Amino acid sequence: MKAGIIGCGFIGGEIAQFLDSNNNFELIGLNDVDEGKAGELIKNIKNNNPKSMNINELIKKSDLIIESATKNIIKDILSNEGLDEKNKKLLIMSTGGLISGLDLLKNIKNCEILLPSGAIAGLDAIKAVSGKIKSLTLTTTKPVKGLEGAPYIIKNNIDLASIKGRKTIFEGNLKDAVEGFPQNINVAATLFLASKFDNIKIKIIADPDTRFNTHEIEAEGDFGTIKAITQNLPSKNPKTSYLAVLSAVQAIKNIESTIKIGN
């Protein structure tokens, strides 16, 4: 299966190394707004011979397109005329970009869309009770370094360095969370897509004393209560949990697996 990666940061680089070591895939193309990043990653690929490509060429030539860039690129990918073809698959990491592109997502009829569970646990259970949920909350706690540069932090002049102890810095809905924390809250978008519940309550806590990215999910309904807590160590990118990388790799492994576990 020919694969191409859009976004050559930490996650893209880790996925590229996995694909390069797997005989079931041929890594043929890389794309990044910073061509230098694509070039550097190409130098580290040993078994394949990927080329730096524009998005149109990468989508046209790839059977598996992997997005690991930013939510701002999602609409361009979904609306690309070369995407919606049989036997093509698109794996999306920046699920926050789907919230403003749901109409485009619904128009995809042939290309298979893969959304890894990312940095959270419990999505299988949430999917199973979709349509029966009466309340759903997501509480995310992060080290202050992982929140630096978020639009919400900048807009509200929040001095992260002055925070002592756990402090709630955001409470609101999904749309505002995705806009305010685009690199931190893909988990909320994925939770929405799994639950189809419109009124998710989201809380974001800054904690200078923790080294974990912690996500707590609680769903209630006639089925009972579902609680899931995931404590993730950050990757080399403090805004990204290492579990998100492992989740993406597992989603790719599942493509070729004859045994499917979970929903």
Question: Do 129 and 55 belong to one domain?
Answer: no
Quote the pLDDT of residue 254: 93
pLDDT for 232 equals 93
- Is 215 annotated in the active site? yes
Domain membership flag for residue 262: no
Bridge partners (DSSP) of residue 4 are 29, 65
> How far is it, in rounded angstroms, from Cα 169 to Cα 220?
25
Residue 261 counted as domain residue: no
Place of tokens 């060429």: 57
Edge-first strand listing for the sheet containing 167-172: 167-172, 201-206, 133-142, 213-221, 224-232
- pLDDT of residue 256 exceeding 90: no
- Which residues have C-beta within 8 Å of that of residue 191, sequence separation ≥ 6? 120, 123, 126, 136, 138, 200, 217
User: The domain spanning residue 32 has which CATH number?
Assistant: 3.40.50.720
Range of the domain at 30: 2-118+244-256
Residue 241 DSSP label: B
Same domain, 147 and 235: yes
Residue 233 and residue 127 share a domain: yes
Residues 191 and 250 in one domain: no
pTM comes to 0.93
CA distance 71 to 92: 9
Total tally of structural domains belonging to the chain: 2
Shared domain for 144 and 159, answered yes or no, is yes
pLDDT at 107: 94
Same domain, 81 and 167: no
* Residues 153 and 201 placed together within one structural domain of the fold: yes
pLDDT score of 263 more than 70: no
Q: What is the mean pLDDT of residues 229-251?
A: 91
Residue 32 is assigned to a structural domain of this protein? yes
Q: 60, 88, 89, 215: which is the annotated catalytic residue? A: 215
Q: Which residue has the higher pLDDT, 196 or 239?
A: 196
Residue 101 and residue 179 in one domain = no
Q: What average pLDDT score do residues 166-187 get?
A: 92
Residues 110 and 146 reside in one and the same domain? no
16 lies in some domain: yes
pLDDT by residue (tens digit) across 15-67? 999 999 999 999 999 999 999 999 999 999 999 999 999 999 999 999 999 99
